[in-house]
Homo-oligomer: A and B are copies of this chain.
Amino acid sequence: MKIRTATVIGDGAWGTAMGLVLLWKGVRVRIWGAFPEYVEEVSRIRENRRFLPGVPLPGELAYETDLAGAAEGADLLVSAVPTQHLRSVLSALKGRVGATPVVSLSKGIEQKTLLRPDEIIHGVLGRRTPVVVMSGPSHAEEVARRLPTSVVAAARNREICRTVQEVFSGESFRVYTSDDVVGVGLGGALKNVVAVAAGISDGLGFGDNTKAALITRGIKEISRLGKCLGGRAGTFAGLSGIGDLIVTCTSRHGRNRALGEMIGHGRTLEEALGTTRKVAEGVWTSRAVVSLAKKKDVEMPISLEVFRILFRKKDVRSAVVSLMTRKLKPE
């Protein structure tokens, strides 16, 4: 199977960067965006000023405003739509996609249904559509600037997974394959709760020791729940698990970490949410995680303290003391 043309659904930072990666490999790329005026502007000035400023966009990158038309005839679809909008955006393609593979880049869990993005895609487009979940430590700006980046692509169909691996891989972007669709998807969602905890730690003026311990113990509890939900331990120890968690917890730019930092400075959740239009997924994921952990009888001490701070007005310093003075145990 040879990929000659691809359509990227979503003109945000990540969709644009993935479009560039495919373009560098000689694929003909079309990018669809939801807002015609903005798409027209990006296409004309050849820069995505709002989401990926400073990156020149080559003339070969075609821009489209009609989704069904843009997707028609493509060898590959790349879905780069925020999880909470995924269902409504894809509905325009219902019954039109067939066996064309979809690479899913969305991270998160749908709030109303608690479904993963790959499950939403199957639900809307049908079971026949092969879905490849791609995830890992990958700021879009760095990918677009050709800084070395490694990710993992997971699919049940091994051949399609390898095709995706090959078409994306190059000197600055390396793709590993996996068959753990569930684990790769869960890592990208559950990490956001730990990122809020990392931000709280920053807000309290804690240091590298605390951050590294939160990341290490955080992936441990993510892995514990993730295994109960069908993911594999090795996946959580990989690029889409610990790798992505490291970037999300240490980068200055993440919105979940930033929200946690405001909480650590003493702001309430309402105040912190009021300062930004961006969605901090970790806030809502913490709710889902706590109820899942309860249902599956899995210990998630860090996520639980984040939930208590956000929704039960627990004082941040007592949360820290709770975590540090839990019953002493083996690692």
The complex places the Cα of A244 from the Cα of B235 at a distance, in Å, of 20
Taking a contact as CB atoms under 8 Å apart, the answer to whether B178 and A331 are in contact is yes
Q: A172 vs B206: C-alpha distance in the bound complex, in angstroms?
A: 11
On chain B, the residues within 8 Å of A265 by CB distance are: none
The A229-270 residues at the B interface (CB cut-off 8 A) are 234-235, 237-239, 242-244, 246-247, 250-251
Q: Which of B150, B213, B215 contacts A148 (CB 8 A)?
A: B213
Q: Across the interface, do A242 and B213 meet the contact criterion of CB distance under 8 Å?
A: no
Chain A interfacial residues counted at CB < 8 A:
61
Q: B250 to A250, Cβ gap below 8 A?
A: yes
Tell me whether A212 and B324 are in contact (CB under 8 A). Answer: no
Residue of B150, B207, B220, B329 near A142 (CB, 8 A) is B207
* A217 (CB) vs chain B CBs: closest residue: B150
Nearest B residue to A254 via CB reads B208
User: Does A152 touch B at the CB level, under 8 Å?
Assistant: yes
Copies of this chain held together in the complex: 2
**Is A239 touching B177 in the complex (CB atoms < 8 A)?**
no
A284 within 8 A of B: no
Distance (Å) between the CB of A22 and the closest chain B CB?
16
Contact indicator B216/A174 (Cβ below 8 Å): no
Question: Contact: A209 with B143, CB < 8 Å?
Answer: yes
Q: Residue A176 at the B interface, CB < 8 A?
A: yes
Asked whether any CB of chain B lies closer than 8 Å to the CB of A224, the reply is: no
Tell me, yes or no, whether A171 is within 8 Å of chain B by CB.
yes
Closest to A150 in B: B213
Q: Is A139's CB under 8 angstroms from B209's CB?
A: yes
0/1 per residue, A131-174, Cβ < 8 Å to B?
00000111100110101111010000000001001100111111
A1 at the interface (CB under 8 A from B): no
Across the two chains, which residue of chain B brings its CB closest to A206? B147
Q: Which residue of B lies closest to A331 (CB)?
A: B176
Separation of A238 and B166 alpha carbons in the complex (Å): 33
Residues of A with Cβ closer than 8 Å to B?
136-139, 142-143, 145, 147-150, 152, 162, 165-166, 169-178, 201, 205-213, 215-217, 219-220, 234-235, 237-239, 242-244, 246-247, 250-251, 320-321, 323-325, 328-331
